[in-house]
Structure 1
Amino acid sequence: MNPRRKFQLIGLASAGMVASALMTATPAAAQPVLVPCSATALQAAITAANTAGSGELLLTPGCTYSITTPVTGEDGLPQITGDIRVVGSGDTITRAPSATATFRLLDVASGGKLTLGGLTVSGGNPTGDGGGISNAGILTLNAVQVTKNSTGGNGGGVANTGTLNTFATRITDNTATTGGGGIFNGSSATAALRASSLDDNTTTGANSQGGGILNHGGSVTGDLSSLGSNSATGAGSSGGGIATVGGTVRLTLDAVTDNHATTAPGGILNNGGTVSLVLTGVFDNTPTNCAGSPSPVPGCFH
């Protein structure tokens, strides 16, 4: 088995059960709301939950909520200002192929809280940060796939300036122009990735950084997670797997492998930050794993 895939699979066997427990262990609150299979119904349900201050929305199993027109600016759905849980069962929230406007799918305001479970977020394409999701509040992703989103700014999959927690989540095939093909983690932001993977994400702009993750002064922790086959493809671009500009990165029992950058390093770029590797493999990245990084990456070779 490919070592990177082996790392990805660690701990995922029980992920569904744990994610289910996380989604159902809620305090006493208003009755969950079943959301019919339409984008209009989902927009209305989020608006009502915001107004109430909180709510649990149960998506119609297997539904594709296809959004054609943004509700405002570049937000496909109403901005999350309350404490909202969206529980899916193989659902997809996506930008409709026929849509002409550019927009992301979800936007969490400062002070807002959003928990997603059992669904896919795809197709967002705003010009601003956060191709799929922009978060300034608290965002929790349990068994979620964030895929095939793009942005002209930072964070092709997720742009985080608040608190981001993932569990058994895959962030894949997203693209950013400025940096952070998979995730952009801003100054003072916190991202904690558990049993999750970031694969095949790309940052394309000249001198862009972080094909998988760009940590710009915040804190990133990874546990039993992987970054594989991500790329920084623009002229002078580096840190195909992860790049940190200031801030801290701590990876425990993770794998950073098969990532690529135009300019070394291809695996981990540390520019004035602190990177800690605990039982973490960094290998098969090109043109180097960590060599060429402006600041050292202890425990990483070549």
Structure 2
Amino acid sequence: MSGSQGTSTDGTSRAKTATLSRHWKVAVLAAAGFATMVGGGGTAVAAHADSAEAKPASAAKDDDRADSQGKGSHGGKGPGSGSKGEESTGKGSDGHGKSKRGGHHAGDRGRGSHEGGHDKTRSVECDPSGLISAIVKANEVSGPSILELAEKCTYTLTANQDGNGLPAITQRITIIGNGATIARAANADDFRIFEVEAGGDLKLRHLTITRGKADEDHGGAVNVRSGGRLDLDHVTLENNTVSDVSSYEGGGVYNEGITTISNSTLDTNFGTEGAAVSSYYGKVDISRTKVTGNVSDGYAAIVNEYGTTKISESYLSYNYGFYGGALNNYGGVTEVEKSALTHNLGYYGGGIYNQYGSLFLRQSTVKNNTATDGGGGGLNLTAPATIEDSKITDNASTNSDGGGVYVDLDDFEAGVAIRDSKVNGNQAPGNDATGGGIFVNPGSQVTLTDSKVKGNISDGPAGGIQNDGTVLTNGKVKIIDNVPTNCDGSAGTVPNCFG
């Protein structure tokens, strides 16, 4: 990670790389049922065809509520796009909604529609040289510029300047893709596609970016520097990579500014830290987006380091990382709402690994994720977290404790709050592993309110809650039908735990 690294819970320095042999990674992925392919600078995970079974909990208390499914980057319908699963209308931030042509937003097409009527729209012929020239000209004017690409054209880039396939963005530029693709040529030198510098404001619409590769730098597809802005809507980032070196982050997007991603797909990107998105002291907002099949040697598909990240109505599945399969929050504030995290694989925390920051998980589902050795099949929490109106179900910690939730907060006075939620059907099947539902380490506190811990299994007691710290209960709490026993541990009994 960038910046100072802090200290891990075992007192050791946080490693810049959780370097795994590629043979080990492939073996682990294969054992977990992942389809793998090797190439493009890293190991990519192909999303399973059954990924549609994952359902976010827009209201976890209602088991019979129909969960909405993710539709990809062009469907405009995220997993849990509203509390009733209604389809997104595709409205842009300008509020004009869809136009009749290709679903573009009226504000994106411009024609003098905003910013005091100064927008300049240019059509770009199906030629990469024409696109480069258009961006150069757009950077020469202070007013917003709109570049409209040739419909379904592939702009193949063969050369770069300062590691970028296109001129760095320094002004307000919107690129309407019309279903086009911007790609680095397969036999070209390594370079990313876009860089947004301070003062740059890049909006991309209805576009695919692929095969970007940052060599010894950040951002395989897009690098957003401090003071820059990036806005993606109906954009696909796929097969983008950063070098397999410890300090390079963001296979898809590296952000030190402000990045907004909506109605998009981030698929099969590779990066040591943040295979899809890595944000360092920045702000990221992800909504109605699919994050699938991304692979990291170190820290998760999405990494928030000392910044602010919000993920809503989105679907994170079949991602792999050492510290968190889908999401790693390191010293930042991360909110996850109305989203599904399913079938992700990690060493620590199959779904989420929360370190040194604050995590808020609301109206979401964490299901069928796996931690191989470090604990927390669903969530590994070494920093305070609030879990509310959510489902932590059918996760597994194969060789460690905490099939659903692993809690180790000995460095924090605050604890973990689980409210109006279900921790059901999780497993910790390894030899002498405990806490099939929840594992609470010494010095840690978990408060359960109006929640259920039911039907969890571990090799050793307790199958429900292994309490070696402090567990408090409020309201209607049910801890039942866990095997073996419901609660156990060195810290004594758990209130409202029976059987």
For the criterion TM > 0.5, the same-fold answer is yes
Alignment of 1:1-302 (within 5 A): 8-9=61-62, 16-17=82-83, 33=203, 36=206, 38=208, 40=210, 44=221, 47=224, 49=229, 53-60=257-264, 64-70=265-271, 73-81=272-280, 82-88=282-288, 91-95=289-293, 104-109=300-305, 111-126=306-321, 128-136=322-330, 137-152=332-347, 154-161=348-355, 162-176=357-371, 177-186=373-382, 189-205=383-399, 208-217=400-409, 219-245=415-441, 246-290=443-487, 292-295=488-491, 296-302=493-499
Contact 1:37-1:65 within 8 A present in 2 as well? no
Cα offset for 1:79? 1.5
C-alpha offsets along residues 95-141 of structure 1, whole Å, 9 cap, x if unaligned?
16xx79787311110x2111011111112222x21111111111111
> Does the C-alpha gap of structure 1 residues 263 and 100 become closer, same or farther in structure 2, counting only changes over 3 Å?
closer
Contact 1:36-1:59 within 8 A present in 2 as well? no
- Counterpart CA distance in 2 for 1:172 and 1:133 is 14
- Counterpart CA distance in 2 for 1:197 and 1:15 is 17
- Counterpart CA distance in 1 for 2:379 and 2:392 is 9
- Counterpart CA distance in 1 for 2:256 and 2:432 is 49
Cα offset for 1:56? 2.6
Cα offset for 1:239? 0.5
- Counterpart CA distance in 1 for 2:463 and 2:320 is 26
- AA aligned to 2:286 is V
C-alpha offsets along residues 21-79 of structure 1, whole Å, 9 cap, x if unaligned?
xxx9x9xxx9994554546599646735476732332234xxx4212432xx2431242
> Does the C-alpha gap of structure 1 residues 32 and 227 become closer, same or farther in structure 2, counting only changes over 3 Å?
farther
- AA aligned to 1:180 is G
- Counterpart CA distance in 2 for 1:149 and 1:46 is 26
Cα offset for 1:170? 0.4
- Counterpart CA distance in 2 for 1:9 and 1:193 is 16
Cα offset for 1:11? 12
- Counterpart CA distance in 2 for 1:166 and 1:157 is 12
Partner of 1:80, secondary structure, is: strand
- AA aligned to 1:95 is G
Cα offset for 1:149? 0.9
C-alpha offsets along residues 136-192 of structure 1, whole Å, 9 cap, x if unaligned?
11111111111111122x111000011111111100111112201100110xx1111
> Does the C-alpha gap of structure 1 residues 38 and 249 become closer, same or farther in structure 2, counting only changes over 3 Å?
farther
Contact 1:46-1:80 within 8 A present in 2 as well? no
Cα offset for 1:284? 0.9
- AA aligned to 1:283 is I
Structure 2 portions without partners, runs of 5+: 1-56, 67-79, 94-171, 173-200, 213-218, 230-253
Partner of 1:79, secondary structure, is: strand
Counting aligned pairs with the same residue, the percent is: 26
- Counterpart CA distance in 2 for 1:238 and 1:35 is 48
Partner of 2:267, secondary structure, is: strand
> Does the C-alpha gap of structure 1 residues 190 and 36 become closer, same or farther in structure 2, counting only changes over 3 Å?
farther
- Counterpart CA distance in 2 for 1:192 and 1:201 is 19
Between Structure 1 and Structure 2, how many residues are aligned? 274
Task: Provide TM-score, normalisation by structure 1.
Answer: 0.79
- AA aligned to 1:9 is D
The residue aligned with 2:249 is: none
Q: Which has the higher contact order (CA 8 A, sep 6+)?
A: 1
Structure 1 portions without partners, runs of 5+: none
Partner of 1:279, secondary structure, is: coil
RMSD: 3.3
- Counterpart CA distance in 2 for 1:57 and 1:100 is 20
Point out the more displaced range, 164-173 or 47-56: 47-56
Cα offset for 1:249? 0.7
> Does the C-alpha gap of structure 1 residues 191 and 102 become closer, same or farther in structure 2, counting only changes over 3 Å?
closer
Contact 1:115-1:139 within 8 A present in 2 as well? yes
Task: Provide TM-score, normalisation by structure 2.
Answer: 0.50
